[in-house]
Amino acid sequence: MTTYRFGTVPEVVERLEGAGYLADEAIATVVFLADRLGKPILVEGPAGTGKTELAKSVSTILGSELIRLQCYEGLDEAKALYEWNYKKQLLRIQAEQGREMSWEDVETNIFTEDFLLERPLLSAIRSDHPVTLLIDEIDKVDFEFEGLLLELLSDFQVSIPEMGTVHAKRIPFVVLTSNNSRELSEALKRRCLYLFLDYPSIEREKAIVLERVPEISEILADQIVRLVRSIRQLELKKAPSIAETLDWTRTLLHLGITELDGGTAQATMSALLKFQTDFEKVAAHLKIPPRPGEN
C-alpha cells in the first residue's frame, strides 16, 4: 500500500509555512502532485526566486536527509553518480600478485562494494533513510549529462556495468532547479512536473520579509519591497534576489534605520547589488516609494 507524504494541498501550504517558506497554492499543488505521482519537480525561473530554498524546505518538513548535487560545466558521472577507488584497486591487484588467478577472478575481487565511491545520485538511491534529492542548476551541465539522469528520474534506478542495476531502497523526493540559461531536453522535462518561480508579488515578498525579519516594522518592510520591485524592472546585470532583499532588510535593521530616504537607500545598496554598472543605473533611477496610504 502506497503511503503518501501529504494529505491535501492546504496541508502542504501550512507545513511549508511552518518551515519558513511561504508557498502559494500553485507551488503547493506541484509539491503535492509530485508526492502523489512519484515524479521529480523541475523548478525553473530567475536566480534568487526561492527554487533551492523550496527543496530545502521540503526536506525539512519531511524530516529527510537533503542530498545536493551542485551542477557545473564539465560535471560527469564520476562526480555525480559513482567512481571506483582506483588506488585501492591497484593495491588489491598488487597484493594478489603471485597467485594463480584469472583476470575474471581479479575483476570479481576489485569491482565490489569495498571499492565503490558513492557520489550524490547513487547515495540518494541507495539510502536506507528518507531522502530529498536536490539537483541544483541542471541547466549548467550538457545534454550528455542529462541523458545520464533519465534512468534515475524515470525508474529510480542506476545501472552500474560491473555490478548490475541498483534500485532505490526508498523513492527520494527529487527537485531539479534551473535558472533557464539554456533549453533543457524534452526527455528530461517529460519525466518531471514543471514549476516556474518568478519573483514574488509585492504582497508575498513583504510577507516573506516580515516572516524572516520579524523585528522590522511593516512600514519599512513595505518601502523595502516596493523599492526592490522597482529596481528589478531596470535592465541590470543581476537583479536582486529574495535573499538579497532579506540581507538589505537586516542591514537597515542593524543600522537602526526605520524609514527609507534616497540617501539611506543609496548608501546601503551594497547589500542589494553586486555590480558597479547596476549601482550606477539604480542611482540614476532611485525613487523611494511612498508610505502606505500616501499619494
Closest CA to 149 of 120, 129, 128: 120
First to last CA, the chain: 60
| Domain ranges for the chain | 9-77+124-196, 82-118, 202-285
Give the separation between CA 65 and CA 129, rounded to whole angstroms: 7
User: Residues 208-218: what's their mean pLDDT?
Assistant: 95
CB 141 within 8 A of CB 73: yes
pTM recorded for the entire structure: 0.85
User: Which letter does DSSP use for residue 171 in this model?
Assistant: P
Give the separation between CA 245 and CA 129, rounded to whole angstroms: 35
E-state strands within 142-202: 157-160, 164-167, 173-178, 193-196
Own/partner contacts of 248-252, CB < 8 Å, gap of 24 or more, are 248/224, 248/272, 249/209, 249/212, 249/213, 249/216, 249/220, 249/221, 249/224, 250/213, 252/216, 252/220, 252/224
Q: Provide the β-strand partners of residue 123.
A: none
What is the rounded average pLDDT for all residues in the chain? 89
Architecture of the structural domain at 9-77+124-196 = 3-Layer(aba) Sandwich (3.40)
| pLDDT value at residue 228 | 95
Give the separation between CA 151 and CA 121, rounded to whole angstroms: 11
Q: How far is CA 46 from CA 26, 61, 202, 238, 249, in A?
A: 17, 25, 17, 10, 21
133-190 pLDDT, tens digit each: 999 999 999 888 998 899 889 899 888 888 888 899 889 999 999 998 899 999 999 9
Minimum mean pLDDT among 82-91, 133-142, 187-196, 222-231: which range?
A: 82-91
